[in-house]
Amino acid sequence: MPIWYGWLNRSAEGAPKLELPPGEKECVESTQYMRTSHVDLLNNWKETVVRDGKRTYVSSTGKEYTMSLTNTCITQCHSNKAKFCDRCHDYMNVQPWCWDCHNFPKEAGK
Amino acid sequence: MADDKLKPEEILNVSYEPADRDWLTPTAVFRKGTYSYSAPLKHQKYLDLPNQREWNPADADWKLPENWKEIILEGMGRLLKRHRSFKLYLDICVRCGACADKCHYFLGSGDPKNMPVLRAELLRSVYRRYFTVAGKIFGRLAGARDLTEDVLKEWFYYFFQCSECRRCSIYCPYGIDTCEITMMARELLNLVGCNIQWVVEPASNCFRTGNHLGIPPHAFKQTFEFALDELKDLTGISIDAPINRKGAEILFVAPSADYFASPHWHTFLGYLMLFHEIGLDYTWSTYASEGGNFGLFHSSELAKRLNNKIYAEARRLGVKWILGGECGHMWRTIHQYMDTFNGPADFLEEPVSPITGTKFDNARSTKMVHITEFTADLIKHDKLKLDPARNDRWKVTFHDSCNPARAIGLFAEPRYILQNVCNHFFDMPENTIKEKTFCCGSGAGLGADENMEMRLRGGFPRAHAVKYVKEKHGVNMVSCLCAIDKASLPPLFEYWVPGVEVCGVHELVGNALVMKGETRTADLRGEPLAQAEEPTA
Amino acid sequence: MNRMWIALIAVLALIIIPWVGVGAAGLTLLFGVGIPYIACLIFFVGFIYRIVSWAQSPVPFHIPTICGQQKSLPWIKANNRESPHSYWGLFARMALEVLFFRSLLRNDRAELKQRQRLIYSSNRFLWAGGLLFHWSLIIVLFRHLRFFTEPVLPGIAFVQNLDALFHVGLPALYITDVAIIVGLSYLFLRRVIYPQMRLISLPSDYFVLLLIIAVVLSGVLMRHFFKIDAEKAKELALSIASFRPVIPTAIGLPFYIHLFLVSILAAYLPFSKLMHAPGVFFSPTRNLKNDSRARRHINPWSYPVKVHTYEEYEDEFREAMKEAGLPVEKE
């Protein structure tokens, strides 16, 4: 029975613990929004940058950010792909195709 | 015919698109021509049936026992425990509607309660009301309804408008078999004494005299004498037909209509000629003088009571195995029920053709072989001298009778024989033959004359397919393997497609058979032989 | 038509319940843990009960409906799939029926045209619609295992990727999500459009279709439009599956609606026609070989019946038989 599979692997105790960036307390939007909708946000960024050439994002709290996966998200905060992105994506069995195009900067990834 | 007044275009003034109404309200109207008479008291008594009385379905008062409802519900509970088919088929229908336009009675009447799904719902609605939680709580919302006298009358009307042909079952994604539902409904109706004359009377006759027609042994002997005289005139050969002969190798059992009715008679002559020509060591029986089993249309108990005779007689006469004639529901009984009813037939031997040495492995337990299996084997081994040109006046098609088709899968054997005994054979369209064959409209005890309008309606799809090959190929003869077909198809064709006749497969075998020492100028119907030249094969 | 409206209202009511229960009253524990457990319990107990109750009724007679040439004479080609004579043939017949709806493929439509011509035309829409729905359902259910396994079962990723082959939208639209909606819509619409179907459809027929449509739509909507915290949903799913339920935190209202509808469906299933799924395996017209003359089928409740013996028969007709020259047992 597949539903016992999780139990046997004793992994039901909780979701993966994400390693948060040291120092930074706040993401571009609320944690709750980022948890449910970061896909939409990044997709939105991509289309705004590529189609409209705009690079500035104004968050719901009025703060301004540069719309860039590599330069903003990764370089400034989430420098550890394995411990931030992958843990959760693996857990949910999703294979985002971000990295089909984007480079994960080597220095950030280490 | 009571309905000569109804013209085909009037009969066919039907629509397959029913009005959107609530079918839960019982609607049966006992209109002349669409229902069968009730069983006569005399025969109810002879078979010890419950609630014996004279009654009439068209009357308001059916003279049911006071506690009829309890009897039915108790009976339903018992049947649910005894038949997985019943329980399962009441439970799992999804009402997908695939069966709706597969029933010949629906196609001929447009009455939505003749759609197999709705026919079953007539019973299912009562099952839900008394045997399921949802039905008890939600009632009509859950498609459940109380068992009332009107519901019982509706059952009687529609479950005697199902010929148990099982065509719908092959289209159902779960194999739901309306025949099973109808059998159970009839079992329930029997419990309160509601059955029809055309079922109970033949069954009672068969119980007493050994055959449905009630022919006593001396009259049986007489008809054989007529037949042998006729054959002497037709062929110049003196043929012997042993009756009740102990020590014969094979017991031959045919439906009683074969030796009493027309056009069955010619098939009967065909059997006698064939058995004589190959020198078969066999016997007929007066006690087991019926292969058919109208008990099957009544209850499994009565079917077993009637079927008992065949093995009992085989044992008494000390034969090795049994050969069976051309009959439809007889072969459903023999193929799917007899061994279970009255077996094991361990006193018989596994059937082997004495002429060809072929072992009929498919009948090794029941020990009864279908005559077309037997004859096809003879032809394949070149044991018969046949002149198919003698059947040249016929352009022949083959009507697969429901039961040999959908109970046995007897498709190739009769066609092989036909293709060897006649030169002009044409099959009807694919979706009207073999497993998709249409009923004659008169099966399962519905062949009574008073039911003629329903018979004509139910037989319409079959007749229509015959009309198609008549127009396309000039077909003028429908051969078949069923005594009820042979009785019911002639009036059906006379109505829908005049100019087409009906015969058994072994009538055409008899015509084509070149016998040693024969002098033949006429076929089995007394018509001049098409030609009298040297046989071609 | 009333029957359809009743079912529609029932399904709408079922959507409102978690909406109020979670959205307004905040009963996440009840809707996230309590009801799913109760539903699962009813599902498993009910399912087994139904199967056992079928199994308890015997199959007294050997009644397969045969759709192909029997195995008789050695030179006649037997059809082992439509008239099985071996277990392989039977297996093939059942497999074709269960996996590919063999019988529905036979379906045709009869129409009475003017001048009384009865015309049959091939009608495979029901077959196609049914196949589309059921196969999509299987794949969708399989994909859901990613919420119930950790590490995720191998094979699921492959199916997900294949299912999202067209890379439409982000997250990618699953082909089966579209297919199941198309299939269900057809199955629903035919019950509304065709007069025959309207007549035979019960409220429960509309109800299950609408309920499943609601389940699917709620699932699709929360994947693409009303986002939920999927990671927390998995956490809850795993905790329930491993019997160590956690108190669910904010997952999102659409999830609770989805879960509640699934719970209702699961609890209702054993008492509904949806039991056709296990039922088809029990069907004696399909799951028996065509060998009833070669092998004796036993009726476990067979009882002796009153018969008319040869002795009784001869007693009645002896004189006449003797006169006719027929042999008799007793002179």
What average pLDDT does the segment C41-54 reach? 97
B98 touches C: beta carbon within 8 Å: yes
CB–CB of C231/A88 below 8 Å? yes
Average pLDDT of the residues in C233-254: 88
| pLDDT exceeds 70 at position A7 | no
Determine the average pLDDT of the residues in C285-295.
97
CA B219 to chain centre: 24
Q: What residues of C are in contact with residue B341 (Cβ under 8 Å)?
A: 299, 302
Check CB contact under 8 Å for C65 and B406: yes
Confidence band for A14, pLDDT divided at 50, 70 and 90: low
Q: Is the peptide bond before B263 cis (omega within 30 degrees of 0)?
A: yes
What residues of chain C lie within 8 A of the CB of B216, using their CB? 317, 320
Task: Using CB atoms, pick whichever of B101, B407, B429 lies closest to residue C66.
Answer: B407
For A89, nearest residue in chain C (alpha carbons): C231
DSSP alpha helices (H): ranges in C145-252?
156-163, 175-193, 195-200, 203-224, 230-241
Is it the case that residue C331 has pLDDT exceeding 70? yes
Higher-confidence position of B394 and A16: B394
Q: Which one of B84, B173, B464 has the shortest CB-CB distance to C104? A: B173
One-letter identity of residue C80:
N
Amino acid at C174: Y
| Residue A17 near chain C (CB below 8 Å) | no
Partners of chain C (3+ Cβ pairs below 8 A): A, B
Torsion of CA B295, B299, B301, B303, to 10 degrees: 20
- The answer to whether C251 and C45 have CB atoms below 8 angstroms apart is no
B394 Cβ contact partners less than 8 Å away, ≥ 6 residues apart? B422, B424, B476, B477, B501, B503, B508
Which residues in chain A are contacts of C243 at CB distance < 8 A? 7
Q: In which band, very low, low, confident or very high, does the pLDDT at C85 lie, cut at 50, 70 and 90? A: very high
With a pLDDT cut of 70, the percent of chain A lying above it is 82
Across B211-220, B371-380, C111-120, C258-267, least confident range: C111-120
Banded model confidence at residue B288, pLDDT cuts 50, 70, 90: very high
Contacts of C252 (CB under 8 A, 6+ apart): A36, C222, C226, C227, C228, C229
Best residue of C37, C44, C159, C170 to probe chain A, by most A CBs closer than 10 Å: C170
Q: Please identify among residues 46-85 of chain A the ones whose CB lies closer than 8 Å to any CB of chain C.
A: none
Confidence grade of residue C39 (pLDDT, cut at 50, 70, 90): very high
Q: What chains are in contact with B, requiring at least 3 Cβ pairs below 8 Å? A: C
Number of A–C residue contacts, CB under 8 Å: 79
Cβ atoms of B218 and B174 closer than 8 Å: no
Asked if the Cβ–Cβ distance from A36 to C167 is below 8 Å, we say no
CB B173 within 8 A of CB C97: yes
* pLDDT at residue C257 tops 60: yes
Is the confidence at residue B185, as pLDDT, over 50? yes
pLDDT at B531 over 70: no
pLDDT of B2 strictly over 50: no
Distance from CA of C251 to the nearest CA of A (A): 9
Please list, residue by residue across C75-100, b when 16 or more beta carbons sit within 10 angstroms of its beta carbon and e when fewer do.
Answer: ebebbbbbbbbeeebbebbbeebbee
pLDDT confidence of residue A15: 67
- Is the model's pLDDT at A5 over the cut of 70? no
Average model confidence (pLDDT) across chain C: 95
Predicted local distance difference test score (pLDDT) of residue A16: 75
Instruction: Tell me if the pTM is above 0.80.
Output: yes
User: What's the CA gap between B248 and B254, in Å, rounded?
Assistant: 17
Q: For chain B, give every domain's residue range.
A: 8-30+50-194, 204-512
**Which C residues, 197 through 216, put their C-beta within 8 Å of a C-beta on chain B?**
197-205
**Cβ(C108)–Cβ(C301) under 8 Å?**
no
Residue B317: pLDDT band by 50, 70, 90 thresholds? very high
Which distant-in-sequence residues (6+ apart) come within 8 Å of B277 by Cβ?
B384, B513, B515, B516
* CA C74 centroid distance within chain: 38
The answer, yes or no, to whether residue C307 has pLDDT greater than 90, is yes
Is residue B105 over pLDDT 80? yes
B252: which strand partners?
B323
- The proportion of chain B whose per-residue pLDDT surpasses 90, expressed as a percent, equals 95
Domain borders along chain C are 2-304
pLDDT at residue B158 is higher than 50? yes
> Are B286 and C282 inside 8 Å of each other by CB?
no
Domain C2-304 CATH superfamily: Transmembrane di-heme cytochromes, Chain C (1.20.950.20)
Q: Give pLDDT tens digits for B35-48.
A: 999 999 999 999 99
What's the CA gap between B33 and B454, in Å, rounded? 7
Do the Cβ atoms of C306 and C292 come closer than 8 Å?
no
pLDDT (mean) for C80-108: 97
C203-224 and C2-18 helices, crossing angle to 10°:
40
Mean pLDDT in residue range B399-408: 97
Question: pLDDT class for A2, splitting at 50, 70, 90?
Answer: very low
Q: Taking residues A77-92, what's their average pLDDT?
A: 86
- Reply yes or no on whether the pLDDT at C2 is more than 90: no
Contacts with C288 from chain B: Cβ below 8 Å = none
Does residue B532 surpass a pLDDT of 80? no
CA distances from B530 to B209, B393, B520, C6 (A): 40, 6, 11, 69
At residue B131, does pLDDT exceed 70?
A: yes
Report yes or no: C111 at the B interface, CB cutoff 8 Å.
yes
pLDDT for A22 equals 74
